[in-house]
Structures are given as C-alpha cells and as structure tokens.
Structure 1
Amino acid sequence: MRVKTKRAGRLVLLLASTALAPIWGMQSAIAADTTPAAPATPDSAANEGLMEIVVTAQKRSENLQNVPISLQALGTATLEQHQVQSFDDYAKQLPSVSFQSFGPGQSQLFFRGISSGGDGLPFGALPTSGFYLDEIPVTTIGSLLDVHIYDVARVEALSGPQGTLYGASSLSGTLRIITNKPDTSKFSAGYDVQGTRFDKGSLGGTIEGFVNIPLSNRAAVRIVGFDEHDGGYIDNTYHQRTYQSPHTLDDGTVVNSPITVDNSKFVKKNFNDVDTYGGRVALGIDLDDDWTVTPQVIAQHQRSNGSFLYDPKAGDLQVHDYAPERNIDKWYQAALTVEGKVWDWDVLYSGGYMQRSIDTHADYSYYTVAYDAYPNYGYFTNSMGKQIDPTQYYYGHQDLTKQSHELRFSSPSTNRWRVTAGLFYQEQTNQSQANYYAPGYGSSQQGSPVYEDDIFLTNVHIVDRDYAVFSQASYDILPSVTLTGGVRGFIADNTLTGFSGFASDAAKAGCVTPFPSLNSCSYLNKKFNDSGETHKLNVTWQIDPDRMVYATYSTGYRPGGNNRRAGVEPYGSDTLDNYELGWKTSWFDQKLRFNGAVYYEEWNNLQYALVALNSGSVTNIYNAGDARVYGVETDITWAVTRSLTLSASGAFNDARLATDFCAIGANSNPDCASGIIAAPKGTRLPVQPRIKFNTTARYEFLLGEADSFVQGSLNHQTSTRSFLGTTADELVGDSPGFTTVDISMGGKIGNTSAEFYVQNLFDDRGGLTRNTFSAPEISGQYARIYPTKPRLFGVKFGQKF
C-alpha cells in the first residue's frame, strides 16, 4: 500500500537530487583505477579472511563453499555497494544470466544461453528459468516479476537445471530473492534516501525504510516500505509519415489515397520515467523451541511510461512514436512458512498466493507501415467520407494468479545418510487480452472489426497445474566423498479457452462480429497433459576443509502447452541434460576464494515462438529441434589486504543449434518436407553473449572519524544474436559488445552513511538486446535497441538504528 508520507518523501528526494545540480555540467572525465566486482563478492573482507556466505539453495542452510552446485550469491552489502534496486541492476552482476526486455516489469530471464529469443509472450510458453521469493515460486507466463530490492538478505543465482528440488521452469536455472526475516532478539530500523540524475535525462530519487519490532521474546514484526522515481532519458521527437493507403475501386483499379499524419500530441522529452512503490510486512512467531510460523505479505505498484528501446534511425536515445505508451504492473503476494521438527527431522510447509495485473499500451504503427503496401489494408473512411488515420495501437491486459504449496521433510544434516523429500502443487491462471486496433476503425465504412475498433483480438484464459513428488538423498561413502542422487516425478496439465483471430476467424466459428461484448465468442477449448521425471546424480570430494570438487549429471524440464490459434498443434515439453564439473576452493587462510564450473548441456525439443506463413504476423510456439551449450563460469575474490578487496566473475557460453530448425509450413506447423530451413544446425542461440564478465576493486580506509571507501567496477560482454531464425536475425541485426564502468565513494560515521556514485561513467551506449514490438519478419527493419542506462549520477544518505 502507498504510505501517507509519500508526498513528503518525494520532496526529500527532489531536494537531494537538486543538490547534485552543480555536477551535471561537468564535462571532464573522472579517471578511476578500476579492478571491479563479482556476483559472489562477499559482504565484506574480514581481517582474518573472507566472510562466510550462508545460502539455502539446497533447501538447507549451508556455507556457499560446501554446496556442490554452480551458485552465485549477492549478499546485502554487495547489493548496496552496487546500488542494486531492480532486475537490470543485479542481472549485470551475474555473468551466467542474460535477458530480453522491453523495460521495467517486461523482462525474460535466461541462464547459460538457454534462450530461443521468442519467449515472453503473455499467452505463450512458460519461462526457461525459475524465479522464487524466499520459498515461494513466482514464475509467471510472460514477464519476470521486477521486485524492488531493499532489505534483502541476498540474491541467489543457481545455474543449470534445478528440476529435482525446484521443478517446472527451472530448466536452465533458478533465481531466488531471500528477504530479511523478523528478528525477536532486538529492535532495529533504518532508512535510505537517494537522489539521481541521468546526464542526458531527468531527475529521480528513492526513499526506503524498514523497522524490526520485537513483540515479545517469541514474536517480532518486520515492516518495509519504499517509493522510487526513476527519471527518463529517451525522447519521443516530432515526425511525419505518409501512408499511401492503396485500395481497390469498384472497377478493380488499385489507387492510392495518401494520408499524412504526425505524432505531435505524443512528443515529449525524457518520456520513459518510472514510478515504483510498495512494501512488505512479515510476522515471525516462535510457537516453541522447535516450531516457527512466518506469514508475510508483499505488494508493489509500478508504472513505467514511454519506450525503453530507442530507434537508431531517429537518433541517439530517440524514438518516433505515434501512440500513448505505458506499462502498469501491480501485484501482491501472501505467503506462509511453517518450520519445525518431528523427532529430529526438519519439516517445512510453504504456501503462497500471488495476484498480478499488467496493463500495457504501446505503439504498433510499424505494423501499419509494413502493411501499407497491401491494397485495402489501411484505407478507412468514416460516415462522412473522411479518411481515417490507419495507425495501429496495442493494448494488452493480463490478470495472473498463482498459488503453490510445498511440504518438505529433511533428515539431520549430521547424519551419514541425509534425505530431503516432499510434495508440491501449484496452479497458475492467466486471463490474457491483446487488442490490436486503430481508433475509429469500428465505425469505418471499410472496416471489418472483430470487437469495437479491434482489427485483431486475443482473449484467452490459460490454466497451468503442476503436481510433483521429489526426493534427494546424500550418502557419505567416505568422510571426504559424498554421493547425492535425486528424482522428481511430475504431472503437468494445461488448458486454454477463448478466442484469437480476425473477424474472418470469428465468422468461421459462427460468431457475430463485431462482438457485442468482449467474451461473447469463445471457440477455443484446448487441453495438453504431460508427465515424466527429472533426475540428478552428484559426486563430491572434499579434498580438505578449504577445497572441494564435484561432478554432476542433472536434467530439467519445462511443460508444453497449447497455442492460441485454431488448427495449430500443441507444443511439447522441452528438456535439458547437464554434465558439469565444478570446484569450490579457498586459499591463503581464506583470503582468496576461487570457484568455478565447466559444463556441457543438451537442450532437447526446444520451444520457440515463430510467425507462420500467411498468418497475419500471428506468433505461435513450436518445438524447433535440439541445441547444445559448452560453457565455463567462474568467480574469484581476494582480500589482498585488510583494506583492499579484488573480485571478478565471468562466463563463457557457446550455445548453438544441434539440428536444423525447419520452417513453418502452410499448415501452420513445422514442415521439414519442404526443405526450407528457418535456422541451420550450428546457428548461435540468441540473447546470451559468448563472454560476459565483471570485476570490482574496493578500498576501505579511515578518513578522520569516517570509515571510508572508494570502489570501481567494470562490466563487459561480447556481441549477442537477436533472433534464432535466420531471416528475423538478418532483418533485426546483432547487438555489438560493450564495456561500462561504475565508480562510487563514501563513508560511514557511527550509524550514518553517505556515498556518491556514477554508473556508466563513460556513457557507453551498449545495446543489451535488439527487438521489434511486432514480429521481426514484418517490421524487422525498424528494430530498436534496449540500451544500458546512460551515465547516471547519484547520491545516497542513510541511517541504521
């Protein structure tokens, strides 16, 4: 909920931002000796060595160095040191992670290059990566939940399939956000205020706060609130275009009726600003010495305006948009965790319910531009014979719900035999509406609307249900050698009902057009069922207390589902086989930590979104074939002295098709008999760079009474392919590699801290992805670039009590 102090909070932010005004005009470069940070950077360098990092990736609390999986953990201090507030901020710290995005709340997450480049449809396939808030899965169809990061214990990134313990959609990996829990031992509170400004943009700021209140020696409540405004940096500039609007006369002659339109009413500078506010309330109750109950509610409201992809043809950080654009993402999650013991076994129940609503308004005019060459497509007149602007808009709405329940039992961790076993159930629903419309089309003389002004409408209801039973057991063959095996059996069920199509599709179904109401025509009733198992086998050798190596064979799966178009077959599940050798090592009295893994992965029957021939740019999901990945990921942290810490992490992924991907035939399904290849064997998989790494150097020192620091970070990634299909990728083009540099400096006196930072110091215009809002086969020549944030100045002030 929005707190009453919101307006006052924004005033404080504005004043803090204004204090930076003298800096904006600086043109001289700031020289910085940067040797920067890693995803597994510890929260601090202790005097006698690196701080231990405790994680719960295997459903137990363990030292990161004892967990035989490839895992990167960003602790509280690391998140604060890199000014992490959103998904984009922490994703750049995780080399094995890549993503596609249209802006805040509109991203899709991938691990180790397991991406087909066609994910993220609001009525499409489930993601390849799982996403958890504490113990609760919050993975949804379409876009990743963009959780504001504050008062967070850590972010855990588990690379590779995690199907045994985490199940569906953990095909390529799992990302977990672990929040700080209520603490009965003491009162604590804090707040942070930030002011920011983009060098080529506008002001922003954030106010955040938390309080932990012990209610008794057995109960405590933790309350968190935040309000953030991000300034914009992309301009919607003035532009005119002329549609030729060819149409056929009664005698069969095709003539043009040119109409010139402009975007003057949507012109705005720095129009892609974002407002995010929300909070969290958690209650911790110790029922006795063995049982704890933790109910929690998290809520967030985010509104982003404008476009976050710029058009290089329009200019640097500029677009020519002809429609109102915004994305409103509202969600809340209620969760309950019960932990206790039965005899000496740990028992945990976790249940959650999430409701999410997404409203998206976007410019779809390049679809109109592409189809302007087709007679009778863009020529409309009203009842007075006046020609109507044929520019198309897009409106999408999703109502998502997700409930999950898990009951888990774990034997004592000190036993030679150790077992974790449990039951899992989840149900997620998706009411998805997508309207492609031209204002006035419904009342035009030539229009054939399907509903109101809609040229094309999708209105479907999707339900996914998953049932699973799982077990993972470890046995110490020798005191230093452990064998671990796990298996998960599952049943997946998917249903899709509703309508998707043009007025002609509605007529075929016997529906009257235009629809008298949105839900008056429902001719789709599709079902898809799947079952199977996924498994894991691991051998770990603890060479000595500071060095461990492991070998793992594991599998993952992602359920199949139904396509929204009539006559298009369901798509099946895809699976992943992972072969991995890894190491976790500490050296020189734990002053140097060096972890890593090498792996080979086989992605089987991969799901891919593609536009079929003669489908009017309608995208469907298909099983494209097989792919493989060769990769290495590593991170190193070195406490050089008590003052200086160096860290680095990186990943190399060579991800390619292992089979030819056949084109989609006239029957709207894969047709290899035609001999037409959409993407040949050996084609790189999209989105993931071959190389991605980051480095950080942090120097801490005493300046007067202040514990001070200076820090520099460098982030680099090589080029990425935009789309899997050869035609689509040639039209859109690849994203070149880039390097960015961040610096920060500050200090702390007692409980009060302050810092100044600059992100993307040299204003490198790195392109994270290239994309088109309509299908690339239709409007690929108008592709846009999702950039790294331009140079951003910030100041931050905080206190802890």
Structure 2
Amino acid sequence: MRRLVPFAFVALVAAPAVAGQPALDLRAGRLGDAVLALGRQTGTSIVVDPAIWARRVPAIRGRMSARAALDRLASAAGADVTAAGAIGWRLVPRRAAPVAVVRRSAVAPVAPPADPGPDIVVTASKRDVAARDFAGQVALLDGLDLAFGGAGGTDAIVARLASVSSTHLGAGRNKLFIRGIADSSFTGPTQTTVGQYLGDLRLSYNAPDPDLRLYDIASVEVLEGPQGTLYGAGSLGGIIRTVPNMPELGAASGSIVGGVATTWHGDPGGDLGATLNVPLGDRTALRVVGYGVSEGGYIDNPVRDRNDVNRTTISGGRAMLRVDLGNAWTIDVGAVGQRTRGDDSQYADRNAPPLTRSSAIRQGFAADYALGQVIVSGGIGALKLRSSTGIVGQDLTERYDATVPDGAPRVFAQRNATTLIANETRLWRPMTSGFGWVVGTSFTHNRTRLSRSLGPLDASAPVTGVVNRIDEMTLYGEGSVRLLPGLTATAGARATRSALSGSGEDVAPAFAPAAVLARAQVTGDRTETSILPSASVIAAVLPKVSLYARYQQGFRPGGLAIEGDFVRRFQNDRVRTLESGLRYGLAGTDDVYVSASVSHTIWCDIQADFIDATGLPSTANIGDGRIWTFGATGGWQPVAGLTLDAGFTYNDSRVTEPSAALFLALLRMSQVPNIARYAGRVGMDYRRPLSGDLDLRVYGAARYVGRSRLGVGPVLGEEQGDYLDTTLTARIGRPAFGLTLGVTNLFDSVGNRFALGTPFQLGMGQITPQRPRTLRLGLDAAF
C-alpha cells in the first residue's frame, strides 16, 4: 500500500504519461508522499533518498511539467535533482556550497548557519504557524503511521501519546481527556473537555467520541489546552484535529487494505477498507472511502451460558467532492457516516475468573454518526479565507443491567440523541515579515435529548429525562509580532455569548404551586457571556532551542441535569492555565528532538458526575480545583532507518474547595477523576530496504497507564489503571503491495482500563480488561 512506504522510495508509473502540462494537485506533507502523487499524476519515475524522505514540503497546484513541480519540491526540501535513467530523476540531499575563506589575522573562518529545512506547519493554529514558532505543546501524527498495520480509531491516537487518555467504555461511547483535565466517567449533559474536529468542523459538542476509523487520513494534530481563544467552549484539555486526505485533481488512484485477526480466549475478527480517487474533469475530483470492521468478543457470561459476548461491528465511509473554482479558490462538499453495534458490554467481574462477568441481561449498545459539510476556501491577495459549515447527527443507545441482588432481571436503557449545526468563517494572514494574525466568527447550535427507561425486560417504564439546547455566537482574534530576531509575542481574545434553554421529560407531576414555580425557574431560558484572553511569548535562545510561556483560558457553559425524579441546573465552569516549556529540534526534521512543559491550572466550579440517591449518574458543580502537569516527549535517530521515541506525563490534581452540597462525599476522595498520576510510553520505528523497491518496516511500542479513580465521592472511588499496553507490527513489501503481521497486548495481560460497566453495580468489583493478545495478518495494495 502506498501509504506504508518505508525507507527509499520509487514512484512507479500508475498511468500513462500525459502529454503537455497536466493539472497537478500535490498536498502539503512529507516529500516522499508528494513525489508519489507526482509520479502517479505525470507517469514519471522518481527516486527519493532516505535521508530526505520525511522532509516537509508545501502544497503545489496548477498546470506545469513534472520537472517544474519536482524543482519546486526539491527547493522546499533542500534537495538536488539528478537524472536517473532516460525517463526518471533522483532527489538527493543538497550539497553544501563551498565556503570561501578570507584569511585575516586572528580571525577564524566562519561557516554559514545550518539550513533548518522547510517548516512544519501547525494548521490547527488556524493561521499556519510554523511549529518552531508555536508556543505550546503540539503533537503532529502522520496519518500513514496511524494506519500502519490496519486503521484503528481514536485508540490509535491514544496509543501514541502519553498525554491523551480515554474511558474505554466502548467504541462510540468513550470520553477523551488531555493534560489532566477530566470531568466524569459518564456521557451526560456536560460538554466534553476535549474538542474534536474533522478539518475545521466540530465532530461533537456534548456527545461521546464518535471513534471514526482513521482510514485515508493525512494527519492528526493534538494541541494541549486550554485552547479557548481559537476553539472556544469545550477545549479545556485541548483539541484533537483530524485532517483527511482531500481529492486529487487530474489523477485516478485507489488503495485497499484488509486483514484477519485472532484473539486469545476469544473470537476471530477482520477488517476491510478501500479508497478511490476519481477525477471528474480538469477541475473536479471525488474521493470516496469505505470500510467495515468486526472485533471478536472475549468476555464470557456463565449466568446466561454465553461465551465471547462482546463482539463489536463498525461500518462507515466518507466522501468528498472538490471543485477548483480557479484563482486558488476551492469548494469541498462532503459527508461522513459510521454505524457501530456492540453485542454486549466489555466489562468483567474483578474477583471472578479472568474475562468473565455474571450479568442477568444483554447490555448491548448502538452508536450512529452522520456529518455533512461544505467548505469554501481561497485567497485574497496575501490573505486567506475559509468558511466551513456542517450539520451533525449523533445517536447513542445503551443498555445497563439494573438487576438488584436476588431480584428479577431489570434493564436501564438510555438514549442520547444530538443534533449539531456549526459554521466558522475566518480570515488570516500567515506569519510573514514578522507579523501574522487571524480573525473569525463562529455559530454553534446544539440540541441534546437524553431519554431513559427502567424496569423489567418486557415492561420498562420511562423515567426522568432532559433536553438541553444551546446557541453560541462568537468573535475571536489573535495576532503575533516578532519583537526581535527569534522573539515572538502573541495575544488574542474570544468573546462568546451563549443562549441556553432546556426542559425535563417524563418528570413526575408537581402539584404544589411552589414546586411548579421552582421547576419553571430551573428550566427557564438564560444567557451567559464569556471573554477568554490569551497571551504567549516564544524565544529562540540557541540554534534549535526555544523557550516559551503562555497563558490561556477555557470554559464550558452550564445546562440541565437529572437527579432522581427532578431536573436541576448546573453552572458553567472555567479553567485558567499558565504554562512554560522548552523545545529542542522538531520531530520529522531533526535527528534528536525534545519537548517539555510544566503547567498550573486553576479550575473553578468543576462540572462532574456523581451517583444520586437512586443509583443513577447525575451532574453537578463539585467545587474548585487545581492541577499541576509535567509532560515531556523526545526522539532520537541513532542510525539511518531507526527512530526511537518516548513520552511521559505527570498529573497532580485536587478538588481544593468542595461544594457545600458534596463536601462530605469529597472528603474521602478529592482527586480529579480518570486521570492517572503517571503515564508514559516508548516507541521504535525501523525501516530498511531489502532489494530493489522491496522494503521492511518494524514498529513497536509500549504504553504504561498508572492508577486513577473512576469518579468523585465514595461511590465512584473505585481504583483503575496500572496496566501496560504493547504492540509490535512488521510489514514487508513494495510501495504498491505489502504483507503486514501485527500483535497487540504481547504479554496477554488483563489490566483494568476502566472500573465501570453498569452504574447499578458500583462497588461490586467491575473492571474493563484489555483486549487479550491479538494477532492480525493484513494485506495492502495501491493502484
């Protein structure tokens, strides 16, 4: 498969050469990937030296010859073009120009400064800031690497970063956390603490992670938070921005990848995905992605006499139509859909035989996700403009075992249905001549209906539910100025006005006039206004060494929550973070790179979940807290073809001033939930050419997650974590065809990723084990 090209690379002819000057569309990214696209679009053969394979190059679009495009790529990557046979070329590292030495008494010759190479751009900055100038912690994950050995979902991102964690409740049900900012274990009315984006559009607002499969993805950018100025509500911990591959004009191409898997102590599984890029004329192209995944179950239920009950199936796809309007303007129209079905929950009993659970009913779930989007982008002189509009429908239905000891089977069912409409329009000037800025507006409408029922399997009755609505209007701006050579200051602000409303559903009737009045006051409309300032400074103090400091805020609006038979209001919460850090080198550019930061966060009126008197989860403001976080990542290429990397994070979080209503409960456990005090990972990536264009690539990683708590209060005080995740994958093949063999959970450990299965049995020893050792054999092909 072309996305899994290792070391040296040859862009083989996939279509006959086109006479004249073809319309080229080469997206920004790694030099090797751009050359692959160039070879396919022009029918030429190009060899890339391994030393410059991963250098970053800008996008190239327009009508030109293959050699003209190659010269532009070589210039951006610091490479020279040499002939390779009669119909091809070779890209090699640029030879250093001879240095003329002027002999002067007592003066040593001075060599020119080293070429830093092309910039890696942080597009999630919304104004194309070079990574060297970005004041903050950012992880840039290549989509090719995330898909190596089979495209996963969000778990593939979590596996590569120590700072990102998940609740591991199940595909389409999880909540994600970054940098120690975690609110609760349940999917309720609170907005997520991590903003998830597909391109410039939000994937969700207060719904769980849709866990879209990462097929045909260009990159994923993870910015540690808060990121309130640019991304607004719900970016307290940070943002995860997934960038899909866009349609390529003038070139037909495709790929297919599939595999079969066997799971120790469980059922087999399989996956299949395909991508097709079809030109529809000179200025239009369509790119379509489709996939299906079946993950074998591994939990046994002796009470129901069923084995491997928790099989999960996922099917979905993505389509994007691009129209080139000319003069660097484009319009993209696309859709995304995914259907997830879980036969049963994946938790087990702590004190039972491994991978077994005794539950009276089947606890299946269903998650559906759909997104439609329109993106218009272009340039106005030196300025850039982009307007993105999308509509999202997300539906999650879950079943929980609510059977009381020695009682008849009971089921608790919950449905969370969300509709999101969003638009963002921004105008920006990339950083040139020491100055850059962005201004933008956004509108968000979100409506969530949470409905619930409880009772016998054949006669469950509705219980109290709630509807939350919110409309947000926002104006934001940010600018940077280079005060001195190597010293850049940035400041910005975001103003948001939120209109909130809601109502209860299936609420017990109120007969007293005072109760009726109180209920009306709780569910009445209200507005909230928030101003989020930000400021940062970054200084290049030595070659490849930068120091930075930044201040940022974030917030989440309030809403309505259910407690027992009543609907109750919770208020907005807010974080303020002061962070400082250092950076040496850059991943993908330098042989050695290190990045480290320390941050202090003040969190006011924390929105979090607790268990109410009826045994159901509810939401409240639990008080104020503070979080100290230290994080570090680094990498080293000791020899050509071998890259080692590592990451570590430490979190110290406390609820320092519990709310009066929950004071006694919080006395027993005041740690912010779901965040391990320690987490770390190490990784290895080895690439070696074998013969001709046959290559070998081996990737391995180990990730440790320390202990954490399920939630706040004594009922949710269950311990979880303290486990090791491992993976090892090898691929042998050519750019257009390869065989992959991968193993996850090499030591077949059980662990406890999440101490929850059903809220009705908290305190009875629930664990969510790791998927047992799984072996996958895969094939990939490109054409």
TM-score by length of 2: 0.81
Q: Which moved more, 1:648-657 or 1:580-589?
A: 580-589
Match of residue 658, structure 1, among 656, 659, 665: 656
CA contact (8 A) 2:377 2:385 kept: yes
SS at match of 1:659: strand
Matched to 1:583, the amino acid is: L
SS at match of 2:715: helix
SS at match of 2:155: helix
TM-superposed CA distance for 1:342, in Å, is: 2.7
Q: Which moved more, 1:399-408 or 1:75-84?
A: 75-84
Matched to 1:785, the amino acid is: I
Distance across 2 between alignment mates of 1:82 and 1:634: 27
Partner of 1:295: 333
Match of residue 741, structure 2, among 747, 756, 761: 756
Q: Which moved more, 1:649-658 or 1:618-627?
A: 618-627
Distance across 2 between alignment mates of 1:597 and 1:296: 38
Partner of 2:271: 206
Matched to 1:337, the amino acid is: I
For residues 131-530 of structure 1, the aligned pairs below 5 Å read 131-238=196-303, 264=304, 267-365=305-403, 368-369=404-405, 390-439=408-457, 453-454=460-461, 457-501=463-507, 505-506=508-509, 508=511, 525-530=523-528
TM-superposed CA distance for 1:700, in Å, is: 1.9
Find out whether 1:770 has 2:755 as its counterpart. yes
Matched to 1:358, the amino acid is: L
Partner of 2:708: 720
> Which structure 2 residue ranges, 5 or more long, are not aligned?
1-29, 34-47, 57-119, 514-518
Distance across 2 between alignment mates of 1:541 and 1:363: 56
Find out whether 1:564 has 2:562 as its counterpart. yes
CA contact (8 A) 1:49 1:590 kept: no
Distance across 2 between alignment mates of 1:63 and 1:793: 40
Q: Which moved more, 1:342-351 or 1:676-685?
A: 676-685
TM-superposed CA distance for 1:170, in Å, is: 0.7
CA distances 1:524-558 after superposition (whole Å, capped 9, x unpaired): 84434211211110011133563322110111111
CA distances 1:671-724 after superposition (whole Å, capped 9, x unpaired): xxxxx5221398322211111111112222233452012332111121112222
Match of residue 632, structure 1, among 630, 633, 654: 630
Structure-2 change in CA distance of 1:172 and 1:743 (3 Å): same
Partner of 1:677: 664
Q: Which moved more, 1:579-588 or 1:750-759?
A: 579-588
Partner of 2:676: 689
CA contact (8 A) 1:48 1:591 kept: no
SS at match of 1:88: helix
Higher relative CO (Cα under 8 Å, sequence separation at least 6) belongs to: 1
Matched to 1:56, the amino acid is: T
Structure-2 change in CA distance of 1:729 and 1:281 (3 Å): closer
Distance across 2 between alignment mates of 1:689 and 1:270: 29
Structure-2 change in CA distance of 1:765 and 1:468 (3 Å): same
TM-superposed CA distance for 1:439, in Å, is: 3.7
Post-superposition, which runs of at least 4 consecutive aligned residues in structure 1 deviate over 4 A? 42-46, 507-510, 521-524, 565-569
TM-superposed CA distance for 1:404, in Å, is: 0.2
SS at match of 1:413: strand
Partner of 2:596: 596
Distance across 2 between alignment mates of 1:82 and 1:555: 38
Distance across 1 between alignment mates of 2:468 and 2:346: 29
Find out whether 1:574 has 2:573 as its counterpart. yes
CA contact (8 A) 2:465 2:562 kept: no
Distance across 1 between alignment mates of 2:173 and 2:619: 19
TM-superposed CA distance for 1:574, in Å, is: 0.8
For residues 62-73 of structure 1, the aligned pairs below 5 Å read 62-73=129-140
Distance across 2 between alignment mates of 1:498 and 1:149: 37
SS at match of 1:164: helix
CA contact (8 A) 2:267 2:296 kept: yes
Distance across 2 between alignment mates of 1:336 and 1:568: 37
Distance across 1 between alignment mates of 2:139 and 2:422: 26
Distance across 2 between alignment mates of 1:322 and 1:45: 61
Matched to 2:622, the amino acid is: A
Structure-2 change in CA distance of 1:184 and 1:157 (3 Å): same
Distance across 1 between alignment mates of 2:522 and 2:606: 25
SS at match of 1:314: coil
Distance across 2 between alignment mates of 1:70 and 1:587: 12
CA distances 1:22-74 after superposition (whole Å, capped 9, x unpaired): xxxxxxxxxxxxxxxxxx9x999951586445431101334434322211121
Distance across 1 between alignment mates of 2:470 and 2:765: 33
Partner of 2:766: 784
The number of residues matched between the two structures is: 668
Distance across 2 between alignment mates of 1:82 and 1:545: 37
Distance across 2 between alignment mates of 1:749 and 1:484: 46
Find out whether 1:585 has 2:652 as its counterpart. no
Structure-2 change in CA distance of 1:138 and 1:318 (3 Å): same
CA contact (8 A) 2:175 2:185 kept: no
SS at match of 2:369: strand
Distance across 1 between alignment mates of 2:394 and 2:446: 11
Partner of 2:6: none
Q: Which moved more, 1:66-75 or 1:532-541?
A: 66-75
TM-superposed CA distance for 1:131, in Å, is: 1.0
Distance across 1 between alignment mates of 2:738 and 2:377: 36
TM-superposed CA distance for 1:485, in Å, is: 0.4
Find out whether 1:710 has 2:698 as its counterpart. yes
Partner of 1:20: none
Structure-2 change in CA distance of 1:506 and 1:774 (3 Å): farther
> Which structure 1 residue ranges, 5 or more long, are not aligned?
1-39, 239-263, 373-388, 442-452, 511-520, 665-675
TM-superposed CA distance for 1:315, in Å, is: 2.2
Partner of 2:109: none
SS at match of 2:707: coil
Find out whether 1:80 has 2:147 as its counterpart. yes
Partner of 1:533: 531
Percent identity over the alignment? 23
Matched to 1:109, the amino acid is: L
SS at match of 1:719: strand
TM-score by length of 1: 0.79
TM-superposed CA distance for 1:417, in Å, is: 2.8
TM-superposed CA distance for 1:499, in Å, is: 2.2
Distance across 2 between alignment mates of 1:202 and 1:781: 30
CA contact (8 A) 2:133 2:538 kept: no
TM-superposed CA distance for 1:500, in Å, is: 4.6
Q: Which moved more, 1:356-365 or 1:471-480?
A: 356-365
Distance across 2 between alignment mates of 1:93 and 1:603: 27
SS at match of 1:477: strand
